[in-house]
Chain A
Amino acid sequence: MRRRLLLAAALAAVVLAVLFLVLRKGPQGPVPGAGAPGTVGAADLYFADAEGRRLVIERRAISPGTAEETARAVAEELIAGPHDPALVPTLPPNAAVLAVFLQGDTAYLDFSASLSGDHPGGSWSEALTVYSIVNSIAANVPGVAQVQILLDGREGETLAGHIVLDRPLAPQMRLLDGDF
């Protein structure tokens, strides 16, 4: 009987200890999608607001990996679109990431031609697409200061006939306010 009581007490102590650890760690531990940008497992993704006027940030969890893997994951999350139904996707859903590589402070992201071919067009839509990619990559991949977007392995003059695309582009954070 005494042995049983001791066993029950030990079990209770273990359960209490586990509960204590879980409760203590809970608010401070890694919560999916709540980490800081640039850290492993969380990314700030730039999508368009409901009016298509500016870029807004949606933070979500991504798989940890190397810088190149992170860049690819970010681009693929952009293609997947925003989780918040009030936000507007900035990339065509059937676009694909063909290759990602880094050189110095420049990230090269090679997309399938559908990024251009399936784009709805329009100057501002195009600006939002280009800078949702540039801003998202620069914000989440350590060491990247500019992004060169490629289409089927080549530099394009533009994506849809308006915004410069023939060089590496630096992020434009003012697009969060709806302007350059």
Chain B
Amino acid sequence: MTRIVAFLLISSSLVLPVAGGGRLLAADPPPFAPGSPGPGEGVVPSPLPLPETVSRGVRMVAIDPGHGGKEPGAVGKSGTLEKDLTMALANQAGRALTAAGYRVVYTREDDYFVGLRERTAIANAAGADLLVSIHANASTRADINGYETYYVSFAASDAEAQAMAKKENSSLEASRAPAGASTVTGLEAILWDMAQTEFANQSGEFAARLQKKLFAAVGGHSRGTRQAPLIVLLGARMPAVLVEAGFISNAEEELRLRNQEFAGKFARALVQAVNEVSQALMAGCAPARASTGAGAAVAAVPPAGETAREEAVRQ
């Protein structure tokens, strides 16, 4: 019920084309990224999408607290649920980012289920410049520990892309799709899955900076950065990473992940990494987010078949 109300409120005020509880913590007037010149120094923030040729820093960060609702994620030996840890870490990180002058959008605000592609769609629709998905790791071996940051450098093979398109098409044909729509949906599915490839380098750099800042802040065992076909990152129209903050299956790290001091260090490390990425983007790299182009329009929402499937799962 809360989610329906949140959806109605958001739909009427911000016109986000997604269901779910995407929450915008909008500072007013729009903030500047730390390190950027202020209004008195000749640069006026524009609410309009900037041309792709103009580099800009990070203004808004989407935070994705992993799992939620019926999906607890990994469970620690002491009964700690991953979904609770990720929410706590996300809240702390969001507060720190807001205090540092960034706008923050959450993909979920409380303990409820949100589909993976819907999470990405919330970040896309809000126009976030970066996406950080927060998770806790697990293993069958209790001694395995450490934290690691992922990014996507996964291009579906031709066979996989064809299989995906074929599946999307057949699922639509089996439902109430109008004639001719199935081909578009197959294309949408592929574009959705390919969205992150445009940002592979920036995502990799973001992951490396975050991992480095985490090591400086909390020490311990850094497992480095990794690449994997993570669904929540695939359709993101912005640099996107997923951080596994520690192993909930390791007794010591389970306790650490629940520790407020750790959450504070984690949040500060994230702010520092975002600051660095923002400065790097403004120093002349490509814009953080492609604000124009047909691909952006197509990939702003998940493929129709997917939304329908996720709706069905929720019911």
Contact between B159 and A52 (Cβ–Cβ < 8 Å)? no
Contact between A105 and B159 (Cβ–Cβ < 8 Å)? yes
CB nearest neighbor in B for A120: B138
Check A84 for interface membership: any CB of B closer than 8 A.
Answer: no
Q: Write out the residue numbers on chain B whose beta carbons fall within 8 Å of the beta carbon of A157.
A: 115-116, 231, 309
Nearest chain A CB to B17 CB, angstrom units: 21
Check A146 for interface membership: any CB of B closer than 8 A.
Answer: yes
**B-side interface residues, number (CB < 8 Å):** 43
Contact between A170 and B159 (Cβ–Cβ < 8 Å)? yes
Check A39 for interface membership: any CB of B closer than 8 A.
Answer: no
User: A120 with B228: in contact, given A88-B141, A145-B159 (CB under 8 Å)?
Assistant: no
User: A163 with B159: in contact, given A89-B140, A120-B249, A121-B82 (CB under 8 Å)?
Assistant: no
Contact between A123 and B140 (Cβ–Cβ < 8 Å)? no
Nearest chain A CB to B23 CB, angstrom units: 21
Report how far A47 CA is from B136 CA in the complex, Å. 22
- Per the 8 Å Cβ criterion, residues 121-180 of A in contact with B are 121-125, 127, 145-146, 148, 155, 157-158, 160-164, 166-170, 178-180
Q: Write out the residue numbers on chain A whose beta carbons fall within 8 Å of the beta carbon of B66.
A: 161
Check B154 for interface membership: any CB of A closer than 8 A.
Answer: yes
Sample of 28 A–B contacts (CB below 8 Å): A52-B144, A88-B140, A89-B140, A120-B139, A122-B244, A122-B249, A123-B150, A124-B244, A125-B138, A145-B159, A146-B159, A146-B160, A157-B115, A157-B231, A158-B231, A161-B67, A161-B71, A161-B73, A163-B228, A164-B234, A166-B167, A170-B157, A178-B226, A179-B227, A180-B154, A180-B227, A180-B228, A180-B229
Knowing that A120-B139, A148-B163, A178-B226 touch, tell me 13 more A-B residue pairs with CB under 8 angstroms.
A120-B140, A121-B75, A121-B82, A121-B248, A125-B140, A146-B160, A157-B116, A163-B229, A167-B156, A168-B163, A170-B159, A180-B154, A180-B228
Nearest 6 A/B pairs, CB to CB: A121-B74, A122-B138, A122-B137, A120-B138, A121-B138, A180-B227
- Residues of chain B whose beta carbon lies under 8 Å from any beta carbon of chain A: 66-67, 71, 73-75, 82, 115-116, 135-141, 144, 148, 150, 153-154, 156-157, 159-160, 163-164, 167, 223, 226-232, 234, 242, 244, 247-249, 309
